[in-house]
Amino acid sequence: MIKFALSTLLLLIGFTTFAQPTSGSGVTDDQLQLNTITTAVPFMSITPDSRAGGMGDAGTALSADASSLYWNTSGLSFAKEKAELAVSYTPWLRQLTNDIHLSYLSGYYKVNDRHSVGGALRYFSLGEITFTDETGNVIRDDKPSEFEITAGYAFKTSQRTSVGLNGKFAYSNLTGGLTVAGVNTKPGIAGAADISFTFFNDDAKIGGLRGTYTFATTINNIGNKIKYSDVGSNAPGDFLPMNLKFGNSFNARFDKFNSLTMSLDIQKLLVPTPAIYDDNGEIMSGKTNDVGVIAGMIQSFYDAPGTLVLDDNGDAVQNADGSYEVVKNSKFLEELSEINIGAGLEYWYNNILAVRAGYFYENKNKGARQYFNFGVGFKYNRFGIDVSYLAALKRNNPLANTLRFTLRITLGPMGGESTPSTDE
C-alpha cells in the first residue's frame, strides 16, 4: 500500500510539474487565458484552523484532531486522544476591510477503537454592507452572513485503513431578501456530503527514518447547486466548491523529544471550467456548465477550453467544419493548471512547542493564490493554542497578513487511551 501511495504521489507531482507550460508545448503560461472557476458559498473551502493554516493548507493527511472534520474525517479513526474540542477564529480579507471574519467550532469523540463521530459549525460574517438603489440612495444597512453545520462519522475498516462520511447543511444569506430591480432575492440553501479514505502506518520507514506515514484522499462538498432568486428557473445555478484532494504526510520521530512532519496536498476543483463564448452567446471552445452535479464533477477533468488561435486581426480562426481552432496542447495544459499544491513542515519539541511553515501554489490564470505560511503551536496538559500567519507573494493581495487563531482542549483520557472495541 505504501509503494502504491508513493507511486501515486510521484505521478501527481509529475503532472503538476507540467502545469507550468513551456514554449515548446505550443503555448506559454502567459498565453493561457485568465479563466478562473467560480462557485457558490466559497467560504466552505476556506481553511479554518491554524495548524494546517501554518503548513501551506496541506492538512488532508495530518494527524487527526478536531479540525479533521474539515480536512479528512476518516482520519479520526487514528486519533490519539479520546475526544477533543477546538475553536478557531480568522479575521478575513483585512487588506480590504476590518469586519469580515470566519469562526469555526469543531469536535470529535471516539466511541471505541473502530467508530468515531464528530461535528462542526462554521460561521462566516461578511461585515456590514450598505445597499443603495441605482441613483445611490441608501435602501438599508445589512450584515450578510453564511453558516455551515457538519456531522461526521469515521469507521475503521482494518488496522490501517478507515473511511469517513460527512453530512452538511449550508445557508447563505447575502442580500437579506432585498428586492433588486423588481427581482426578489432569497438565501441560498444546500445539502452536501464529504467522503474520505485514510491509510495509516505508524511503523513506516523512509530511508533510515522511522515514523508514521499517512495517505488520505477526500472529495468534499458534493451537493446541490445554489440559486439566490427565482428568476430564470431554468438557469443552471451555481455549483458548490466540490474538491478532490490527495494528501501524504510522514512524521519522522528522531528521538523522544524531537519530531518532524512533512505534508503534501494536491487539490483540484470538481467544477466545470467556464467555456469561451462569442458575442451571440454560442460556445467557441469548451463545454456548457448546464449539467448535473455528478456530470459536472466528471466533466471537470476534460472541459478546459484552452486558447483560441487568432489571426493577424485578432479574430478567432475557424476550421472547415465551422469549429474554432485551438492552440495545440492548450486544453491539456489548462487542465493541469487547475491543480493546486500545498506543502508544509511541522517541527515539535517535547510535544510542547511546534514551529510550522508551508507554501501554497495556484496557477495565476486560475486565481493566483500563491503564498507562504508560518505558524507556532503550544501545548500544555489538556490545552493547546495555534497561531498562523499568511505572507502573500504579490503586493495588494487581499489575503496578505491573514492571521488564524485556534484553541484546543482534550477531553477524556489522554495519551492515546481509548475504549476497547466491542465489535471484534
Which DSSP string corresponds to 204-261? EEETTEEEEEEEEEEEEEEE--B-SBSSSTTS--B----EEEEEEEEEEE-SSSEEEE
Global pTM?
Answer: 0.87
Tell me, what's the pLDDT at 408? 96
One-letter identity of residue 354: A
pLDDT band at residue 417 using 50, 70 and 90 as cut-offs: very low
pLDDT band at residue 11 using 50, 70 and 90 as cut-offs: very low
User: What is the DSSP secondary structure assignment for residue 107, as one 8-state letter?
Assistant: E
User: 355: closest CA among 388, 328, 395, 326?
Assistant: 388
**Cell 505534508 maps to which residue?**
263
pLDDT band at residue 27 using 50, 70 and 90 as cut-offs: low
Tell me, what's the pLDDT at 331? 93
Cβ within 8 Å of residue 77, ≥6 positions away: 64, 114, 116, 154, 155, 156, 162, 164, 198, 200
Tell me, what's the pLDDT at 2? 47
Q: Which tens digit of pLDDT belongs to each residue from 333-384? A: 999 999 999 999 999 999 999 999 999 999 999 998 999 999 999 999 999 9
- Distance, CA of 420 to chain centre: 34
End-to-end CA distance of the chain: 24
Q: How far, in Å, CA of 166 to CA of 124, rounded?
A: 20
- Span 95-108, average pLDDT: 92
Q: Which tens digit of pLDDT belongs to each residue from 49-77? A: 999 999 999 999 999 999 999 999 999 99
- Span 33-40, average pLDDT: 90
Q: Is the pLDDT of residue 234 over 70?
A: no
pLDDT band at residue 299 using 50, 70 and 90 as cut-offs: very high
- Span 188-196, average pLDDT: 96
Q: Is the pLDDT of residue 209 over 90?
A: no
pLDDT band at residue 296 using 50, 70 and 90 as cut-offs: very high
Domains of the chain (ranges plus CATH)?
2-411 (2.40.160.40)
Cβ within 8 Å of residue 63, ≥6 positions away: 75, 78, 79, 80, 212, 214, 249, 251, 261
> Are the C-beta atoms of 65 and 261 separated by less than 8 Å?
no
Q: Is the pLDDT of residue 264 over 70?
A: yes
